[in-house]
Structure 1
Amino acid sequence: MSGVRSDASNDTAVNAGQHVVILGGGPGGYEAALVARRLGAQVTVVERQGLGGAAVLTDVVPSKTLIATAEWLTIAEAAPELGIRDGGAGYDVDLSAVNTRVLALAAAQSADIRGRLEREGVEVVTGVGRLEGPSRVVVSTGAATGRVTLDADAVLLAVGATPRTLPTAVPDGERILTWTQLYQLDALPEKLIVVGSGVTGVEFAGAYHALGCDVVLVSSRDRVLPGEDEDAAQLLEGVFRGRGMEVMSRSRAAGAERTADGVTVTLADGRVIEGSHVLLAVGGVPATSGIGLEAAGVALTASGHVVVDKVSRTTARGVYAAGDCTGVLPLASVAAQQGRIAMAHLLGDAVDPLHLGNVAANVFTAPEIATVGYSESDLRAQGLRYITSTLPLARNPRAKMLGMRDGFVKLFAHPEAGVVLGGVVVAPRASELIFPITLAVAHRLTVDDVASAFTIYPSLSGSIAEGARVLHGQLRPRGA
């Protein structure tokens, strides 16, 4: 389990057959490993908890599986409108069974990734890795031997992030919880207080409310999802309130304490909220501390994130980084792409640097919020000229048939060239509907290109073509 150090710098491709050590087996790590093996490198992945990392074991896969379960209950809300009656029996959620399935699916996905890596000839070492210089990794395995030393021609850091906590709200895994601990619950909370109204907070708030919990969402800002499209965030907040969720805006949590039979959350203004459980969804902390990065010459930001360029290079010779530890965008898709780019650059393959403007993102609420390209706030902040169209989902014939009322399709385009600059879709399964807009943004298609493409009638995607036709009528001749 060792390689021979090369004198190649980050600006020179490492010859195939050299040794690449990857710290972290999440999307950034395992996707990088597959690319490196295909390009002929010897690859060792060091992972502490299981292949797939937090994305598969505690974050993306479990949370979206839970949300998919809750989605069925949200869909059922439209049943009476469609003429379907449940006979008054209602629905009962067995959270223990839900969480058993959630964890089983996560474990199965992790096993699938391990099997794929092993079939490709990737060596997997279980343990915690630490750099001893830019070309040596020492792994604490917990086995009788205690440690393994790996000499590397190049290292990829894909160590991810962990949930941020508050010194005045220490998680206990029972009543005060991070999102990684929710899956140990065997019964629905009577009243769940969610602290934090970013993506993680609103996703879990929406899911647990749909499952039947009384939910209080505590937001320190004037609206939920402060980083998302304003119209989309306001619509979702209205939907939450309409379904009976309590949303407390401009309310910063100062601390949380466990009581005899529940929790209390104290706000900065002195107000106190009582509940049965509290979920802390206040962001993540890069897992870069104590693994020898700065001593190896890897520069970190003030927040502890690894500094990287557009091809994933760090400031240390032969060391790359990908994923949440870089702070670029906390998305599994971005982590995977960073890892692929890093190995392609390292091993001399064709490289297309990371373009964040082409990244599609989704908030898995009901309805979902999907975005790609320039946001409206970006366009305004940069003083860019643009035209926009917004079509309410309720006008779409397919949406009417399905009982969908909440949502819209919004497009942005250049007023003269007609190039599609970005878009927002708020709808059930918006994560699927955003793809044609992503293609348009990535390939600089015009609104006329989108408008002239055939869509199925009736279909939700028809609103995308219709929005493009609306934009066509707003185009101005050059110089006008």
Structure 2
Amino acid sequence: MNKFDVCVIGGGPAGYAAAMRAIDFGKRVALVEKDLLGGAGIHQGALWSKTWWEISREARMINLHGNTLNLNSTEFSFEKVKSEVSQAVEQRVNLLTHHMENINLSLGDDLFEYIHGVAKVTGKNTIAITGNGKNQDIEADYIILATGSVPRKLPHLPIDEEIVFTSDGLSNLTKFPKSIVIVGAGVIGCEFATIFSNFGHTKVHLIDKGDRILPFEDEEVVKVIEKNLEQKGVLIHRNSKLIEMKVDEGEVVYILEYTDGNKESFRVEKGLISIGRVPQYDQLVDESIGVEFDNRGIIDDLTQTTVSNIYAVGDITADISLVNVGELEGRYAVERIFGKPEQPLIYKNISTIMFLDPEIAGVGMNEIQAKAAGLEYKIVSLNYETIPRATAMRNTEGFIKVLVTNDDEMNILGMRVVGEHASSAIQAVALLISQDKSIKELAELIHPHPSIIEGIQECGRILMGKPLFKPRVLRGSIRCQVWNGTGYQDLVG
């Protein structure tokens, strides 16, 4: 039986990161993947969908500024856009494959083996692999489970990946649909609503069971996104419950019931079900081994399962379903197995991006979370119109919002950036949060000019009482308050 130090099951972001980190320790590694190298993170998730989003943003700019550029009404080719997205996916897969296939050659050792097949953990140290017309059993001192997640499905929804899709099946589309209903107004649902509406060829319906989309985000963040979606013709069904969906003559018919009891029927060309993802672990581990599960995923304690030599990382644990978190957990698990982790596994400073219109970047707490934790805090919100780079880009829609502790130290609790370059603005703050540092650290730092991150510097100066722009003068552009547990008070006049 082929023997390894560690077997990683799942070749997505978490599994690939774990395998490569194990090589750093000089360990013999098997990486097993049953489907596509790179997993959903490349083929149906982050890279695939964000390439669609990037191209859709350019299409939106052309639609908005066509007159300025002397362009007539523009038709976008679905086939060409889809081909460009496929090329991006192929480019990334080729890079991973080339790197993987040449690991042993570069190391001058036989440390790594990639196995394409379906793996099942049959014993504490044994894995059975089937596929490619052959069966094999391997042995490993340690096993890392990284099989990711799949879209959540409900039995009463007619998902066929041809007319009614999940995000995994959208690659089956052959043209821009004339209309589409998206069930689920969370991050993924809103991202696809943004993508389809940006091209301008699809009437988008978005079903939201609450009174606003993105219910986990602060109200002023949501207002910007809702306004832009509706300006592009998106129909947001608020306070609505989907009580029936069926395919009729090749189209989707759905019925909604609103909180006031009224019902309404709609007909669209396609449907997208975006109601979250669930861990993928069916038939993965023999029950006799003792790995425990709950209704959210595999139970783990900082990546270690209830079996001492078996670890779980990424979406399968349902901690936080993000590529960067999966990679972090994969590397951490290996460091915990073969050494001592250089950094603790913490989640409070994880940076996130929502690819909407405009993009949203966040790190740490928002106000909803801070209030739920019973915290008092200071808040400063600065509109993009005060930032020179935003003016130069001719797009001043957006704001920077920073939460700090309600004391003289003013350690950073969290930040949200809504607008252009949002994702480039949060990393320094993420570092300060992990170190329990103050906003003062950034207030006196010399930032590049012109840049969006100058707005963070100004937020710090406002909180310290020495801003360039005085909040009392620009009340419509700057908000600076303290939440005392029961209400807001102006921090500066």
Provide the TM-score with structure 2 as the length reference. 0.88
In structure 2, the CA distance between the partners of 1:86 and 1:309, relative to structure 1 (3 Å rule), is farther
Contact 2:32–2:119, Cα closer than 8 Å, also in 1: yes
Amino acid at match of 1:438: A
1: CA distance, partners of 2:344 / 2:265: 49
**Structural mapping, 1:367-446, within 5 Å:** 367-416=358-407, 417-446=409-438
Unaligned runs of 5+ in 1: 4-17
Match of 1:86 among 70, 79, 95: 70
What RMSD in Å do the two structures reach over aligned CA positions?
A: 1.9
Partner residue of 1:242 out of 209, 223, 231: 231
Q: 1:383 to 1:326 in 2, by over 3 A?
A: same
Map 1:287-302 onto structure 2 (within 5 A). Answer: 287-292=280-285, 294-302=287-295
Cα deviation digits, residues 97-140 of structure 1 (max 9, x gap)? 21122123212212211222232232111111111122111111
- 2:431 match: secondary structure: helix
> What letter is aligned with 1:355?
I
Alignment check: 8 A CA contact 1:126 1:141 kept: yes
Q: How does 1:33-432 map to 2 (within 5 A)?
A: 33-76=19-62, 79=65, 84-87=68-71, 89-121=72-104, 122-143=112-133, 145=134, 147-212=135-200, 213-268=202-257, 270-292=263-285, 294-303=287-296, 305-310=297-302, 312-416=303-407, 417-432=409-424
Aligned to 1:6: none
Q: Kindly provide the amino acid, as one letter, of the partner of residue 203 in structure 1.
A: E
Deviation at 1:407, TM superposition (A): 1.1
- How many angstroms does 1:451 deviate by? 0.7
2:179–2:204: 8 Å Cα contact kept in structure 1? Answer: yes
Secondary structure (helix, strand or coil) at the match of 1:285 reads strand
**d(CA) in 1 for partners of 2:368, 2:331:** 30
Deviation of 1:349 after TM superposition, in Å, equals 3.6
State the AA in 1 paired with 2:376. R
**C-alpha separation between the residues in 2 aligned to 1:279 and 1:74?**
22
Which runs of structure 1 show a deviation greater than 6 angstroms over 4 or more consecutive aligned residues?
none
Shift of 1:385: 2.0
Task: Give distance in 1, aligned partners of 2:191 and 2:481.
Answer: 37
Counterpart code for 2:97: R
SS of the residue aligned with 1:428? Answer: coil
Query: What is aligned with 2:108?
Result: none
| One-letter amino acid matched to 2:351 | A
Q: Is the 8 A contact 1:418 1:472 kept in 2?
A: no
SS at match of 1:152: strand
Query: Which sections of structure 2, spanning at least 5 residues, go unmatched?
Result: 105-111, 466-479, 483-493
Displacement, 1:326?
0.5
Counterpart of 2:455 in structure 1: which amino acid? S
Higher relative contact order (Cα pairs below 8 Å, separated by 6+ residues): 1
2:92 alignment partner AA: Q
Q: What is the Cα deviation at residue 78 of structure 1?
A: 5.2
Amino acid at match of 2:418: V
Distance 2:305 2:294 in 1: 12
Partner AA of 1:109 in structure 2: R
Match of 2:5 in 1: 19
1:216 Cα deviation after fit: 0.8
* In structure 1, distance between residues paired with 2:86 and 2:34: 18
**How many residue pairs are counted as aligned between the two chains?**
455
The offset of 1:293, in angstroms, is 5.1
Letter in 2 for 1:264: V
Other structure's SS at 1:252 match: strand
Instruction: Classify 1:475/1:65 alpha carbon distance in 2 versus 1 (closer, same or farther; 3 Å).
Output: closer
Aligned to 1:132, the other structure's residue is in SS state strand
Report which of the two has the higher share of strand. Answer: 2
Matched to 1:380, the amino acid is: K
Q: TM-score, normalised by structure 1?
A: 0.91
Letter in 1 for 2:277: G
Q: For 2:238 and 2:385, locate their aligned partners in 1 and report how far apart those are by CA, in whole Å.
A: 27
Residue identity matched to 1:238: K
Partner-residue secondary structure (3-state), 2:240 = coil
Q: Is the 8 A contact 1:159 1:287 kept in 2?
A: yes
- Checking the alignment, whether the CA contact within 8 Å between 1:366 and 1:428 is kept in structure 2 is no
